Structure 1
């Protein structure tokens, strides 16, 4: 493989979009919608897609046929500023033609109760109880994967029974999966769970952060999505019968993909009720009945799992730039962040600690900036209550560190992003184990250590079976006192002056990217610097470039600087 990651159609869309093309495309859609009968314009789009070979014919036809009904519905009802929408979608304020900042559009109301005084977080004590937590994400199980099928087809997803004729032996899909544009077969999913049951019999609970469906976005259906949801829940229930599981919803659970209408969309053809009703029913085996109203309303919930310890599962699909329903209204869709702020205020008043789980990491380029900005504002206010954040979506093993807007040398929170189970694309499968401060009078409920587990997919296909191993434990390999926010910040500072530590990091994690985001003058957010730690690639090549790219996937530090107070 020549790249560390590739997210298929979604990355192709984003990489091809600029401010100008975004505006031109939307104006074109609006113009066609205004002077065409419903459906006519999309026949033109299909012809363009086929003529210019944007995708193969079947993909063009499938995507257009799935997207055209909802896009027609949206465009005939949309009431939005094109400049503003492109600025939000592309995270590019230069799209704002009239000079207004997208950040001025809406603000979550933070309850007026004063924030508790910030306190230093103590180091974890030795020999205190802890929870062992498994984090699974982005399984993308493909029930139509076929060993020996074509792994280099023209469609966005290959290794399937209809993935064209194999032209050479090296193009054949392996038994356990493939680094190319392929999702894992059932055998790989079952091997993962069997390994976890054997090696980790002492798991206290599981967080499962979405994207169960494969990447066949041009051919998926609601019926197939529901069938796969039911199959995956049944497998999880059978493999972990006595372990609590806390799920979150991913963007691939929608149909069409990324489609999450606002709750006021009650047309049966487009409403999201089919999905929320289904997950409410399926998740009921792990969650109490009292969370059903918010799951059925918008796919999110808040549950007290232990005395003074709460897990909140949020639906980040309402910040996703590819959720076309945001064209109708992107102002805190379904009042989700406002609900989160109120939930955290109630938790603070009850002296509870909270872990937030979700799919798309706020601050990630796929999440609209204004939504991320408001989320960061909430985290800053409730930094003493939120003691852990856990996401997926990127397919990489990543960390987001949140800095105090009034003191950028002080970190206030951490978000952990787990690696994907799918190898799509150019990843080894991986998962996380967290050790969380457990039940004792002085518990912080913070992550006190984390392990990353993986296996070499190419070796598994050659040897006949995956050989799972622990790639690292964070505190041990990086000589960290703990995993408090300031501990992560201190590690990054050490890396800036320690080439050996950087090289170690590269060898273990692959590519390290350090990105700075900033809110300036209460309105402007700019990505002002991206730093790549330098490393001699000759040394990496001596230890096998493929092993480095595939160790535990791409690993990022995102330093989130939110100067909006």
Structure 2
């Protein structure tokens, strides 16, 4: 080949390579001197090209590149461009596209503004983009390999004395209440449609069934609990006026006074649960020192029905009701994934988003300090650290609260620089507090909302597990989550994979508090712990619940809150009375769930609190993943366990 032929050949090859690239990659589009509409149409055209890519992962990351280029030049147009693209390509309805990509305002809970923020800083083709396309875009990219991060340089070596847990005292205990997932439905309406098809959340003024009902409701003559009742300031129940719900013949199933399995909690149910706890504590002489609340206040209403005002009202109502009912009993709360506006978002201040969600942090700090649950310095920390804080109880236990939206998969900001495990600084805060407590042999409880293994991002889950392993068993006495609405637990083992799940490798365990909301298909419930005064280890947990369906035809009277079970005796595990219900105990329970259908059924009975929706584990495959849940503490471990299950 002569020199001229060589040059021409390579020139043509170069041209072919250039023209084989998508047009937006040949040069970064510049939107200078274009009108807003021209820019939007240009971006929509570019985004349409990504859908032609047979490789869905590449198409997804390409769309992020296009979005990033627009966000760096015209972030204000990201909501408009992506909403139009979503609509014209049929990726969703006008409403769903607007909610995902539209601009957020105080009356519109869309997340397009947050998407624009994310796009300005995300690495589209790296780990950020692949992680986003896996978790947010319905698995368009396979789950990327989790980076290996070792954070052991953030703490001193563990001393020999901290490799064992302290021994509890003998029968010197106090009690702690645990509430989770109230999900107050502010627009709950007695008589509204509880068998709705037009909204996810039934029992509200927005609920309806697409099929018009004619004639009498099947519940007429059977259900009679249709009263607009309240709890008075002195905490007594007052049955209100009767609502003639059957006069509306369009209603298939009318919402009753205390709620429905397809609905979130009316405030009446919230107050009933709190009121029942105080009554039970008095009747049984419980020594309740404090309450933990593991998050989720705001209802599951569609985003189009949520506003900044309803978000604030929900938070104010719940904490007011807790203070009213619990009186001088301190409450140590966390916020859940629903407890923000828009849903699931908190933004890392270090990347220039210092004022993005301060309304929530300020509101929480003011309420929690005002109710006497936090002092000034603790409230100030919560105000500046995403509502997280550390507080020392009167008996000497330290409670550390974290905002789990920092590792939430639905938080757009969590995908920014996602190979960095601590963009929000929460893990450093946690480690610093644990180091201080370890130095003085102080025991610690950690409270958050979302269990990292099944609701978090993989890297953050691994980092959290490293921290727990380092400070267990001597310093961390308890870990508490909510979020799943089920009464559950998780056991943490050293290492990962099935071979490490042995009694020798047990590290710690987490308690997952059941919900008060019945949504979806659960009986409302709460629990209380029997806690050793010396070590703050949990000696037992007792669970209370109400059969919600029994309130449908009780003439509007209060629910009967029933004793459900003791964690110490529930699974017939032989266990010393003087030993706490530690990770070793729960390892035995996990093994029983793995090998025994009877134990799996018991676990599911208690998970939903004996609700009508409880699965039959002997006849269905719905219980097969239970062992993976209870024996996994990280995302990677859970995913590996699920992948190893037999395919049905």
TM-score range, shorter chain: 0.7 to 0.9
- Residue 431 in 1 paired to residue 544 in 2? no
Q: Deviations over 1:367-416 (max 9, x none)?
A: 01110101110111100100101110111111011123488423221100
- Residue 277 in 1 paired to residue 371 in 2? no
CA contact (8 A) 1:88 1:369 kept: no
Query: Aligned pair in 2 of structure 1 residues 468, 112: CA closer, same or farther (>3 Å)?
Result: same
Question: Structure 2 unaligned runs (5+)?
Answer: 1-53, 103-109, 218-251, 608-613, 616-622
Matched residue, 1:220: 306
What's the TM-score, normalizing by structure 1? 0.80
Matched residue, 2:491: 401
- Residue 260 in 1 paired to residue 368 in 2? no
Matched residue, 1:385: 475
Shift of 1:265: 5.0
CA contact (8 A) 1:87 1:96 kept: no
Q: Deviations over 1:156-176 (max 9, x none)?
A: 323211223673344433322
Q: Deviations over 1:271-315 (max 9, x none)?
A: 121111111111112112121332112211111113542111111
2:549 pairs with 458, 465, 476, which one?
458
- Residue 474 in 1 paired to residue 531 in 2? no
Q: Secondary structure at the match of 1:149?
A: coil
2:256 pairs with 151, 160, 174, which one?
174
1:184 pairs with 252, 258, 265, which one?
265
Matched residue, 2:582: 484
1:297-312 equivalence runs, <5 A: 297-298=384-385, 299-312=387-400
Shift of 1:529: 2.7
Matched residue, 1:560: none
Matched residue, 1:528: 640
Q: Secondary structure at the match of 1:178?
A: coil
CA contact (8 A) 1:212 1:232 kept: yes
1:111-150 equivalence runs, <5 A: 111-117=155-161, 121=165, 126=170, 128-150=171-193
Matched residue, 1:358: 448
- Residue 323 in 1 paired to residue 411 in 2? yes
Which whole-Å CA distance do the structure 2 matches of 1:24 and 1:33 have between them?
14
Q: Secondary structure at the match of 2:424?
A: helix
Q: Please identify which structure carries the higher strand content.
A: 1
Query: Aligned pair in 2 of structure 1 residues 29, 455: CA closer, same or farther (>3 Å)?
Result: same
CA contact (8 A) 1:108 1:338 kept: no
CA contact (8 A) 1:23 1:82 kept: no
CA contact (8 A) 2:481 2:510 kept: yes
CA contact (8 A) 1:210 1:359 kept: yes
Shift of 1:228: 2.0
Which whole-Å CA distance do the structure 2 matches of 1:287 and 1:99 have between them?
40
Which whole-Å CA distance do the structure 2 matches of 1:277 and 1:99 have between them?
36
Query: Aligned pair in 2 of structure 1 residues 519, 161: CA closer, same or farther (>3 Å)?
Result: closer
Structure index of larger Rg:
2
Which whole-Å CA distance do the structure 2 matches of 1:281 and 1:260 have between them?
19
Shift of 1:430: 1.4
CA contact (8 A) 2:628 2:638 kept: no
The root-mean-square deviation of aligned C-alpha atoms, in Å, is 3.5
Query: Aligned pair in 2 of structure 1 residues 397, 62: CA closer, same or farther (>3 Å)?
Result: same
Which whole-Å CA distance do the structure 1 matches of 2:396 and 2:96 have between them?
50
Q: Secondary structure at the match of 2:568?
A: helix
Query: Aligned pair in 2 of structure 1 residues 432, 44: CA closer, same or farther (>3 Å)?
Result: same
Q: Secondary structure at the match of 2:398?
A: strand
Which whole-Å CA distance do the structure 1 matches of 2:141 and 2:88 have between them?
33
Q: Secondary structure at the match of 2:111?
A: helix
Shift of 1:50: 5.8
Matched residue, 1:543: none
Q: Deviations over 1:190-236 (max 9, x none)?
A: 21122122112332210011111112233322232222222222111
Query: Aligned pair in 2 of structure 1 residues 320, 22: CA closer, same or farther (>3 Å)?
Result: farther
1:507-522 equivalence runs, <5 A: 507-509=605-607, 510=614, 512=623, 513-515=626-628
Shift of 1:86: 3.3
Query: Aligned pair in 2 of structure 1 residues 308, 451: CA closer, same or farther (>3 Å)?
Result: same
Shift of 1:532: 12
Shift of 1:238: 1.1
Which whole-Å CA distance do the structure 2 matches of 1:71 and 1:498 have between them?
46
CA contact (8 A) 2:258 2:269 kept: yes
CA contact (8 A) 1:115 1:381 kept: no
Which whole-Å CA distance do the structure 1 matches of 2:68 and 2:645 have between them?
48
Which whole-Å CA distance do the structure 2 matches of 1:377 and 1:130 have between them?
30
Q: Deviations over 1:293-339 (max 9, x none)?
A: 32112211111113542111111110001110123233212221122
Q: Deviations over 1:446-470 (max 9, x none)?
A: 1110112112222212223422111
CA contact (8 A) 1:183 1:215 kept: yes
Number of residue pairs matched by the alignment: 504
Which whole-Å CA distance do the structure 2 matches of 1:79 and 1:499 have between them?
46
CA contact (8 A) 1:84 1:102 kept: no
Which whole-Å CA distance do the structure 1 matches of 2:82 and 2:392 have between them?
49
Query: Aligned pair in 2 of structure 1 residues 85, 422: CA closer, same or farther (>3 Å)?
Result: farther
CA contact (8 A) 1:209 1:392 kept: yes
Query: Aligned pair in 2 of structure 1 residues 72, 195: CA closer, same or farther (>3 Å)?
Result: same
Shift of 1:56: 6.3
